[in-house]
Chain A
Amino acid sequence: MSIYDKPVPFAILAVAVISVGTLVTTFIPMFFPSTQPVSPLVKPYTAPEVEGRDIYLREGCNNCHTQTVRPLRTEVARYGDYSKPEEFAYDRPFLWGSRRTGPDLARLGGKYPDAWHYRHMTSPQGMFEKSNMPAYPWLAKARLDTSLTARKVKVLGYGYDGAEVSRQLAALRQTVTSPGYASASVRSQVTPEPLRGELTELDAIVAYMQRLGRDLKTAQRGAGGPAVAEAAEGKNPFAGDRAAEEEGERTFKENCRSCHGEKGAGGFGPKLSLKAHKFGNADADLFASVAEGRPGGMPAFLPQLGKDRVWKVVAYIRRLERE
């Protein structure tokens, strides 16, 4: 008599054996505070963001993009502050992903202006020749289906009602269709005429992407760091240095051209080949803009480029002014 000649008790024993690790590592910790932390700074998604997130799921964006920044120095430099557990409290399902065929998106929100996303989603190779991201032109051609939104928000338990859902959807529609919308011209270029007055799927996914990782980032804004304070004291160490200007030009082509245009002629971002700049004309002002970014879509480049390359870009901008 042994367990090896009794199939049913054997199956029950097998279930017991697989339950041990399951209980210890997965199901008991489920009720610990450490796996369900909350923060007053982290808010549920809005109704348009819920719809945008569902489009992100439908198109399988998570197959190529992660949404979690690991606490590694180079990763923080590339993507921004590392991810905290409380930031995902409203994520059902979670979207951390497993492969970075494209970059991590956990801190994408607010990094670029909406116009950048409208152009990029419809034509990635138009902005970055070597990118292998698929284009998603059909999102701009599809009216956003909001028939289930109120139900979705209810199932997700986000704590606001159907009237609030309608209000939020109307507010986004108001924003993106108004002539004063900062990204209005690019949006009209990619959106077919009959849909320009409506909310499209692209509007929703852009709203979602602009939200990503933003709750904690907003709370931390304004921490410029010693490099910016140091820059305020001095002049560009590479001013007038020909070789440095050329290196600045290379860096500019890789990182700045997609928004500020060829030779700084202007695009989503302001024109740079002129003497009067939006945030001041001192070396320190230009350094601060490139290093820590500016509201309205200018990303911070200091962590990625480092002090010297930022100064070299400033030197190149000065050359553009002269030309």
Chain B
Amino acid sequence: MADGERGDSIVKGFALTSVFWLIVGLLVGLWLAAEMIFPALNLAPWLSFGRLRVVHTNGLVYGFAIPGIIACSYYMVEKLTRSPLAFPGLARFQLWLFNVAIALAALSLFAGMNTSKEYSELEWPLDVVVVVLWVMFAVVVMGTLVRRREKQMYVSLWFLIACVVTVAVVYILNNLAVPVSWNKSYSAYAGVNDANVQWWFGHNAVASVFTFPILAMFYYFLPKSTGVPIYSHRLSIIAFWSLVFGYLWTGAHHLMLTPLPEWIQTVALAFSMFLIAPSWGSVVNGYYTMGGNWGEVKSNYLTKFFLLGITFYGLQTVQGPTQALRSLTGFLHYTEYIPGHVHMGTMGWVTMVISASMYFVVARVSGGEVYSVKLANVHFWLILVGQLLFTVTLWVAGIVQGAMWKATNADGSLTYSFLDSVAAMYPFWSVRLLGGLLYFAGIAVFAYNLYMTSRPKMQAA
């Protein structure tokens, strides 16, 4: 079918875009990890840590995760509606515009044009482009859904719709600003309100980019790759609505013990605890889907990505709320523990699920099988070990750092200067860099394997 083939090349285009920016974002991450240990590596203004960290986070959220999500979404939408992608011309233009926008975004952040609001640092002209790209995504997805031939919408499509609307709402509202010039603007909100809006965004960007669409993939590709239907439809209904409802209350757990009104912090904390239940609803649903059939993990190369991924999601969604508890946040917040937490989610859950989904999707749209199962296994083990080394090291580092900041002498004075706590971090930072290198090696294998899978089959033969 002609329409289907057009959809296939768009899916492939977004998948390769995603992997390209993944490599770029991780190289920047490795450079940052090295700068922590060797400050002399801040060689030039555009290579200095403060600018580069923003390139790393934005590069991986907007350059890797979003196109990966778009690739898998277009594929899932076509299959689950049994209809070709609506507006393929628009989707093709979106792919082109997307790459131009990400390149400009990276350049502008290197140049120091940033609003400082975490994960939405892009200045206003690029914000406008991001919104346009997202509207295109919404039009293609909703257009295909409206024209679908399959009556019922599967749970993956609900998560996809939630992703489409939530990203739009939080991104636009957090980025409201008054321009001063073409590359400079000031936030529409001030002080406490700006903080509250920012972390309402920050947390729900995590929800709508790193949770909803990744769960959509999990609910679709785990049954697809194992041939077993999802364990409980009812559980997925309950988990979906309570997750989507609960998430939006929790942003202020990033602002515990700050000047934000205390009741907002407490409400956020209560809902964070509540969110453990729907999060684990999906975890349990995934485990039960395997139905004790754990041999799949050995025989099917994709299953282990999904199961380890959902396991890290489960750990992540318990660790997050607990570290927001007032007594623990007083100890752990602002330390290395928090980057440790974030990287379990991104390197464990998000990347595991996206990369496995992309093997499946790219193999299908290229009309064959994955290039090498053996390489996929090497990829799996390298990113698993690299991620664990990275995150566990940072958790321990964070606990050490928190303890040093809190240590007091008998007379109430502080035992350690701030510099003592920096000096204590160097060994941890070295191990973290090693973990990052292992992880990067795994991703390099993934990129090669996926590229080879995507090549037209006449050449491969």
Contacts and interface: CB of A to CB of B under 8 A. Distances in A.
B413 A303 contact: yes
A309 interface: yes
Contacts of A136: 48
A21 B247 contact: yes
Interface string B267-284: 110010000000000000
A95 B245 contact: no
Interface string B150-166: 01110001100110111
Interface in A54-103: 54, 57-64, 66, 68, 70-75, 77-78, 83-85, 87-103
B245 A7 contact: no
B198 interface: yes
Nearest to B53: A63
Contacts of B200: 22, 25-26
Given A59-B51, A83-B258, A307-B411, A20 B248 contact: yes
Contacts of B292: none
Interface in A274-323: 302-309
A181 interface: no
11 contacts: A19-B248, A25-B249, A26-B197, A35-B192, A59-B112, A60-B48, A60-B114, A63-B53, A89-B190, A102-B422, A132-B422
A14 B259 contact: no
Interface stretch (B9-17, B314-322, B332-340, B346-354): B332-340
Interface in B152-207: 152-153, 157-158, 161-162, 164-166, 169, 178, 180-181, 184, 186-187, 189-198, 200, 204
B51 A78 contact: no
B39 A125 contact: yes
A98 B118 contact: yes
A32 B263 CA distance: 13
Given A74-B414, A102-B418, 12 more contacts: A8-B142, A35-B192, A57-B114, A68-B258, A77-B408, A88-B190, A88-B195, A89-B190, A99-B338, A136-B48, A305-B413, A307-B411
Contacts of B187: 92-94
Interface in B128-163: 142, 145-146, 148, 151-153, 157-158, 161-162
Contacts of A64: 49-50
Interface stretch (A148-156, A166-174, A217-225, A259-267): A148-156
Contacts of B406: 74
A160 interface: no
B259 A17 contact: no
B258 A11 contact: no
User: Which of A22, A91, A133 has the most chain B CB atoms inside 10 A of its CB?
Assistant: A22
Contacts, number: 269
B1 interface: no
A26 B189 CA distance: 12
Interface string B218-236: 0000000000000000000
Contact of A130 (B246, B259, B422): B422
B414 A78 contact: yes
A27 B146 CA distance: 32
A36 B94 CA distance: 41
Contact of A96 (B145, B161, B255): B255
B379 interface: no
Contacts of B251: 25-26
B267 A25 contact: yes
B42 interface: yes
Given A8-B146, A25-B252, A60-B50, A93 B186 contact: yes
Contact of B409 (A19, A32, A83, A306): A306
Contacts of B254: 98
Interface of A: 4-5, 7-8, 10-11, 14-15, 17-22, 24-26, 29-30, 32, 34-37, 54, 57-64, 66, 68, 70-75, 77-78, 83-85, 87-103, 124-125, 128, 130-136, 138, 148, 151-152, 155-156, 254-255, 302-309
Interface of B: 35-37, 39, 42, 45, 48-51, 53-54, 112-118, 142, 145-146, 148, 151-153, 157-158, 161-162, 164-166, 169, 178, 180-181, 184, 186-187, 189-198, 200, 204, 241, 244-252, 254-255, 257-261, 264, 267-268, 271, 330, 334-335, 338-339, 405-409, 411-414, 417-420, 422-423
A306 B415 CA distance: 10
B127 to A, nearest CB: 14
A38 B44 CA distance: 40
Contacts of B193: 30, 35-36
A21 B248 contact: yes
Contacts of A36: 190-193
B39 A7 contact: no
Given A29-B196, A84-B259, A99-B339, A77 B412 contact: yes
Give me the 8 closest cross-chain CB pairs, A-B, nearest first. A306-B413, A60-B50, A88-B191, A21-B248, A134-B42, A21-B249, A58-B112, A7-B145
A21 B50 contact: no
Given A58-B112, A155-B180, A93 B258 contact: no
A103 B420 CA distance: 12
Contacts of A73: 408, 412
A244 B231 CA distance: 70
A7 B261 contact: no
A306 B260 CA distance: 31
Contact of A74 (B112, B339, B408): B408
Contacts of A22: 169, 200, 248
Contacts of A8: 142, 146
Given A30-B189, A93-B194, A94-B195, A25 B264 contact: yes
B413 A309 contact: yes
B419 A131 contact: yes
Given A88-B191, A132-B39, A303-B413, A94 B248 contact: no
B244 to A, nearest CB: 5
A117 B142 CA distance: 55
Contact of A63 (B50, B192, B413, B418): B50
A221 to B, nearest CB: 21
Nearest to B401: A100
Contacts of A7: 142, 145-146, 148, 153, 157, 161
Nearest to A89: B191
A8 B146 CA distance: 8
B197 to A, nearest CB: 6
